[in-house]
Structures are given as C-alpha cells and as structure tokens.
Amino acid sequence: MILDLIMQRKQFLKLALLTNLSLVLKPEDIFSTTKQIPTANNVLYYKRGDVEYELLRKGFNKRIEKFPLIIALCKNTAGVAEAIQYAQQNNLPVAIKSGGHCMEGLSCNNGGMVINLSLLNTIEWADKETITVGPGCTLQNLYNNILPRGRIIPGGSCATVGIGGLVLGGGYGLLGRKLGLTCDSLLEVTMVDGSGQIRNSKDDKELLWACKGGGNGNFGVVTALKFKTHKAPATLQSFRFKTYKVNTAKAKAILQKWFEVSATLPVDCFSAYVLNGKTVYILLTNVGKHTAELQNVINQLTAISGKITKTKPQPIAAALKVFYGRQEPLYFKNASAGLYKNFTDIENCVDKAIDTVLATPGMIYQVNTLGGNIINTEAEATAAFPHRAFPYFSELQTYWENEKQAARLLKKFEEVQNIFTGNGIHTQYRNYPDINFTNWDALYYGSSYARLQKIKNKYDPGNLIRHEQSVKNV
C-alpha cells in the first residue's frame, strides 16, 4: 500500500530532508483562529496543497474521498498528545489512521484533523514471547519480524492492514479458530485520550476491555499495543473446492452442506464459502495434523464439488503470503453481511441474495468460519467484542475498475444488504463497517455498547475523537 511504501521511517527521514521547509505547515498557515502554536518536534502538520497531504490523505479504498483541514503526522506518543491538544484548542474533530484500510474511510474526515500513525510502526521484544507493536505496523511487517522467531499472533489475511485498526475491532483470520481473535492476544495499550493525556491500560482494566473489539476511533488514540505471541504452527496446507456454472438452487445447496460440514471442522482449520460470479469456491486450510475428522470434512466437500485442488503443507510464512491479497488501493465496497449461528439464520432469504449476486458480475458473497477457540468464556469476559456466539461471519464485496460502474454496483449491494437485515440479521462485524447501517451501535457492539459509552465519557467527554459511526457520549 502506498502509505506503507512511502512512510516507512527511513523513507520518511529521506523525505523530510528533501522536503522544502515551506511544505511543513506553519501554524498560522493552517487556521486563522489558531490559539496555540504547536511544536513541530514530535509531529508534522500538512495541509491541502502539500505533496505529503495527498499521500497521507488517501486510504486503501479509492471510492472514499475526504479532505481534512490538517493531517498530523506523529512521530511518537508525545506527538499524538500535542496534536490532540492542538485539535482541542482549535475545535477540530479528530479521526485516526493507522493502516488506512477502513472500508468506509472512517479513519479520515472532512474539515477536521487526521492523526496519522504510519510512523508508529516499530516492534519491540520485551521477552521471548511478548512484543510491543506500534499501531501503524502492517501485518506483513509484523509477520516478517516474528515468524522467523517461530512466533505468531493470529491476524487477518491482508498484508497491508494496520495492526491498530485490526486489533481494536477484533481481528479474525486463518488462525482464529486455533488461537482466537487478534484482540485476544492483546495484553496492554498506551493511549492518548481526548484531552491529550497519556493513559495506560495497566491503570484501568476497563480500557483494555474496550480496546479488544470496541476501540476503533471511539475514545482515544492507541499508540502502543503489547501482545503475547504464540508458537507458530510449522506448516499450512490448503484445499480448494470449485463448482462452476451454478444456479441459485445449486449455490444454496452447496452453502447448506458447507454449513453442516464446517460445523465439524477441527480448530486447526479455517474454511470459507465464496460465491463469485457463477462459481462457488470453498477454501479449507489446516495448520495441524491431517486427522480423521479433517479427512471426513474433505470427503464431504469433495462429494458436492466439481474440481478439487490442494497444496502440500507449506512452511507457514510462505503459505500465509498466498493470502496477502492486492497491496495497491482499489475501488470497492466490502462490508459485513451478518454473523450467523447456522444456516437457519439465512435459510429463508439467501435465495434472493444469491439471485442478485449471480446477476451482478463483480459482486461476491462470502461466509467465513469463526468458532473454535474464539468461543471462550474468559475471552468473552475480558473483551468488548460481542459476537463470539456466532461461529460464522459473512461479507459482501464488490469491485470495479471503471468509476461509471460504481452507482449500479452500490445499488445492488444495498439491495442484498437489505435482504439480510430485513430478515432479522442483527449482528455485524465492526471491522467491516457499512455506512448505510443506521443502528450500527447495536449491530457492531450489542450488549457492550452501554459499557463503551462509559469509557467514551471517561476518556473523551467532549467527543473530540469521532467519525460517522463512533461511540456516542451518554
């Protein structure tokens, strides 16, 4: 991703040397009503017209265009505190960007301040099993550091997602059923609150709870994340089951069978059902032994599928790279389409959704397995993530190259979302937000919302840190 490429620390220093000093904002240039001149030691400010502003403004989703008044490129926690104080003095709403992958651009705003954390990307080892990571560190940089030491944190699949946004919303992926959500490995956070005070979750367990699934741009800027790491599995093997030229009945029948079979999946495995065009594609991965239970799953999926391919068990670092995905920004809409307990949650409405997906090239409907060790009472009690009882997470995706296609695809997208929400789907994953969700508070946070509001009151009573779907003060 462009920011990661450009704003690695070394390149930043090079850029800073090359940059004409006039590109670095002087406070009086920024805002005619400036009340206090910010120091520039720990943070650099950019405004529209600056080369850096354009680079820092953009996110992974090319569909979203927002124009903050000022971008604060922070070098450390003190810089974040300075930027927050400056925003407070000048009454600028603050959005927070780590890796810039928010699917609805909630890490940017119009007319406010964006705190950019791409320089806070270091990884420090406290001991052989514990690391402190900057929120701007990407998943691939994390894995490049920790996998050679035989350690891992369960993450998502996208290489360039920022650890900040990923963990604060939960974080699921290929290793989730074995090792839990990303946030389940979080031990401690450092955060700058809405008045510029530096806080640590050692002093407030409730803050750590809130940052495990309820922390995305809601009440503070997280500047450091301490994680326990896990012994990395040695290998990952993947199996792909494809069925071509499906109609609605066939796509639904395979989906129903997939739900039944995936309910017996060993925790070492992950699976996804993907309807893309007229092809159903089932992915199955395994990081453990090839057990009889796994073979039974493979046999049953083979019986309902057309073409089956598999890889040999590959070393984990190389195998995960296969799932890293595109690194450059794209035009797309991708959102949570519901968390499910089982097939009966969608049995009555999924035909209509499949009809639309089959008739809309560029649209993908995907259901992923959660479950396994994500369902864990201790984790449930210590994390704001509220949806552990739902072992399936679905997402709707649509991609385009030509902007002229956008309006039609977005209309179809909304139609499918309405099919699901109209049929009682009432749980959604915050890391896959949809700007059209009106009751997003209940959908994303469920029973955790009221508790998150108390955290918001405590750390950001003036609602300085906010976006379109941020937790509201009580």
Residue 166 is a binding residue for ligand FAD (CB under 6 A): yes
Question: How far is residue 70's CA from residue 115's CA, in Å, rounded to a whole number?
Answer: 9
| Chosen residue from 73, 87, 95, 337 binding ligand FAD by CB under 6 A | 95
Taking the complex as a whole, the smallest distance from the CB of residue 373 to ligand FAD amounts, in Å, to 16
In this chain, which of 44, 102, 113, 396 binds ligand FAD, going by CB under 6 A?
A: 102
Least Å distance, CB 248 to ligand FAD, is: 27
Stretch of 154-162, 233-241, 257-265, 376-384 lying at the interface with ligand FAD (CB under 6 A): 154-162
Decide: helix, strand or coil at residue 70.
strand
Is 141 one of the binding residues for ligand FAD (CB under 6 A)?
no
Q: Is 165 in the site for ligand FAD (CB under 6 A)?
A: yes
Distance between CA atoms of 57 and 285, rounded to whole angstroms? 36
Burial 17-33 (b: 16+ CB within 10 A, else e): eeeeeebbbebeebbee
CA-based nearest residue to 222, from 80, 429, 49: 80
Kindly state whether residue 169 participates in binding ligand FAD, applying the rule CB under 6 A: yes
Residues 6+ apart with CB under 8 A from 286: 236, 237, 238, 239, 266, 268, 269, 294, 313
Instruction: State how far the Cα of 465 lies from the Cα of 474, in Å rounded to an integer.
Output: 15
> What distance separates the 2 farthest-apart alpha carbons in the chain?
70
> Which residue from 90, 98, 121, 238 is in contact with ligand FAD, where contact means CB under 6 A?
98
Q: Give DSSP secondary structure letters for 96-108.
A: EESS---TT-TT-
**Complex with ligand FAD: residue 257 or 413, whichever CB lies closer:** 413
Applying CB under 6 A, the site for ligand FAD has a residue count of 36
Q: Which residues is 398 bridged to in the sheet?
A: 333, 363
| Structural tokens at position 424 | 């009682």
- Which residues make beta-bridge pairs with 70? 113
> Would residue 335 be called left, alpha or beta, if left means φ above 0 and alpha means ψ between -120 and 50 degrees?
beta
One of 229, 431, 448, 453 touching ligand FAD (CB under 6 A): 431
Is residue 161 a contact residue for ligand FAD (CB under 6 A)?
yes
Among 122, 144, 157, 300, binds ligand FAD (CB under 6 A): 157
Which residues have a Cβ under 8 Å from the Cβ of 36 and sit 6 or more positions away? 85, 86, 89
Return the number of other C-beta atoms located less than 10 Å from residue 91's C-beta: 12
SS3 readout for 252-292: HHHHHHHHHHHCCCCCCEEEEEEEECCEEEEEEEECCCCCH
Q: How far is the CB of 172 from ligand FAD (least distance, A)?
A: 4
Stretch of residues binding ligand FAD (CB under 6 A), selected from 102-110, 197-205, 263-271, 372-380: 102-110
Render 431-448 in DSSP notation, one character per residue.
TS--TT-TTHHHHHHGGG
Stretch that binds ligand FAD, among 48-56, 156-164, 228-236, 382-390 (CB under 6 A): 156-164
Residue least distant from ligand FAD (Cβ): 165
Q: Residue 105 CB, nearest distance to ligand FAD (Å)?
A: 7
Lookup result for tokens 């741009």: 217
336 binds ligand FAD (CB under 6 A): no
Shortest Å, Cβ 18 to ligand FAD: 26
Pattern 31-60, ligand FAD, x by CB under 6 A: ----------------------------xx
Show the CA angle centred on residue 235, arms to residues 230 and 241, nearest 5°. 120
In angstroms, give the least distance from the CB of 128 to ligand FAD: 26
Q: What are residue 96's DSSP bridge partners?
A: 115
Contacting ligand FAD (CB under 6 A), which of 72, 117, 179, 354? 117
Q: Which of 97, 112, 132, 122 is nearest to 2 (CA)?
A: 97
213 binds ligand FAD per the rule CB under 6 A:
no
Closest Cα to residue 287, out of 309, 271, 303? Answer: 271
Q: Does 233 bind ligand FAD (CB under 6 A)?
A: no
Q: Find the part of the chain contacting ligand FAD (CB under 6 A) among 34-42, 46-54, 95-103, 287-295.
A: 95-103
Instruction: State which residue, 289 or 326, has the beta carbon closest to ligand FAD.
Output: 326
**Using rule CB under 6 A, residue 146 touches ligand FAD:** no
Interface with ligand FAD, residue 471, by CB under 6 A: no
Nearer to ligand FAD, 248 or 429 (CB): 429
- Check residue 171 for interaction with ligand FAD (CB under 6 A): yes
Note whether 215 binds ligand FAD by CB under 6 A. Answer: yes
Please report, as ranges, the residues that interact with ligand FAD according to CB under 6 A: 59-60, 95-103, 106-107, 117, 135, 156-158, 161-162, 164-166, 168-169, 171-173, 215-217, 221-222, 325, 431, 467
